[in-house]
Structure 1
Amino acid sequence: MEFLLSLWEYIVIFILAAIPWIEILIIIPIGILNGLNPLLVGFLSFLGNLSTVYLLILFFEKFQQWRAKKKPKKEKKRAKRAVEIWNKYGLPGLSLAGPFITGAHLAVVIAISLGAKKQATLLWTTISLALWTIAITVTSYYGVDLFKN
């Protein structure tokens, strides 16, 4: 029974990491704080977040059509900041800063909207999420360990 509860916790980690604006920045520390295996939490968070980013890139045109049907939105502060980063550092800069500035999903939307190729966006987003996952997992693990001692 305990195994099923633990399995369910890891499934929830994967699902929550896939949701835009929750993503890896929030879910990894929470999972580690709850005593789950840090490597598994990091890996599942990475896969969860990356899976919805990949789907967004794959179906970007459909996403744009859906978004265009909604009433027009005002440009938000985070999106403005992302465009500034794009103009200064290009796709690599936006991809690497994206998880903190806008979230990975919005960074992908902005990058492709500004003319980035899908394959390049996929590559840079994967690199960014992998690096941030490692950094957040290590920091969370040792941060929790410091509080316990």
Structure 2
Amino acid sequence: MYESLQNFTQSMPEALQWVAIILISAIPFVESYLGTAIGVVAGLPLFVAVPAAVIGNFVSMFVLVQIAYGARRKIKGEQPPLSPRKQKIKAMFDRFGVPGVSLLGQWVLPSQITSSLMVSFGASKNAVILWQSISILLWALGFGVLAHLGVTTLLEA
């Protein structure tokens, strides 16, 4: 089954392989880390899967940060009460700041949501984009290496 998946992936044009990983990684809860792992398991080289997943995750995060920033500038009045999950992010934000939430917040919510929330809490848009970009890259590399090692181990067994 694994070989069939890899053969199918390799039969597609390289540009389509990139586009597929970019689109998958733009989805919240899939993001760069699972997008990279999916790419590696499907047979893409790590040096293709990581950049494609990072691009997809970054673009979706960037667009949502811009939307949240614009909404915050327009709505400076009273905010509705936060849901329990948003309260967790707010507590993390108050305790760890933008770097901490960017690097650790993906355990609670996707980067697209945490980045939008941080901007809505008043964090600097540029700081959020910078730290989320670092986080997206680190998570993609980490999961990509793990997926590569897993695939290599399975093939050797």
Q: TM-score range by the shorter chain?
A: 0.7 to 0.9
State the distance in 2 between where 1:39 and 1:76 align.
38
CA offsets 1:9-59 (integer angstroms, 9 cap, x no match): 321110110122221232211111111111111100001100111112223
Aligned-pair identity in percent equals 23
Contact 1:28 1:45 in 2 (8 A): yes
Say what the alpha-carbon RMSD is for the aligned residues. Answer: 2.3
Deviation of 1:98 after TM superposition, in Å, equals: 2.3
Work out whether 1:14 is the aligned partner of 2:22.
yes
1:90 corresponds in structure 2 to 97
Deviation of 1:90 after TM superposition, in Å, equals: 1.0
Deviation of 1:111 after TM superposition, in Å, equals: 0.7
- The alpha-carbon distance between structure 1 residues 110 and 59, as it changes in their structure 2 partners (threshold 3 A), is closer
* Structure 1 gaps, min length 5: 66-71
- The alpha-carbon distance between structure 1 residues 55 and 87, as it changes in their structure 2 partners (threshold 3 A), is same
Contact 1:13 1:41 in 2 (8 A): yes
Give the alignment partner of residue 2 of structure 1, picking from 8, 11, 21.
Answer: 11
Deviation of 1:61 after TM superposition, in Å, equals: 4.4
Deviation of 1:84 after TM superposition, in Å, equals: 2.2
- Please tell me the residue identity of whatever aligns with 1:112: V
* Structure 2 gaps, min length 5: 1-9, 74-79
Contact 2:33 2:142 in 1 (8 A): no
- The alpha-carbon distance between structure 1 residues 73 and 9, as it changes in their structure 2 partners (threshold 3 A), is farther
- The alpha-carbon distance between structure 1 residues 85 and 73, as it changes in their structure 2 partners (threshold 3 A), is closer
- The alpha-carbon distance between structure 1 residues 63 and 18, as it changes in their structure 2 partners (threshold 3 A), is farther
- The alpha-carbon distance between structure 1 residues 57 and 120, as it changes in their structure 2 partners (threshold 3 A), is same
SS of the equivalent of 1:16 reads helix
- Please tell me the residue identity of whatever aligns with 2:137: A
CA offsets 1:59-108 (integer angstroms, 9 cap, x no match): 3245669xxxxxx897143x232222112111110011122321101111
State the distance in 1 between where 2:82 and 2:96 align.
24
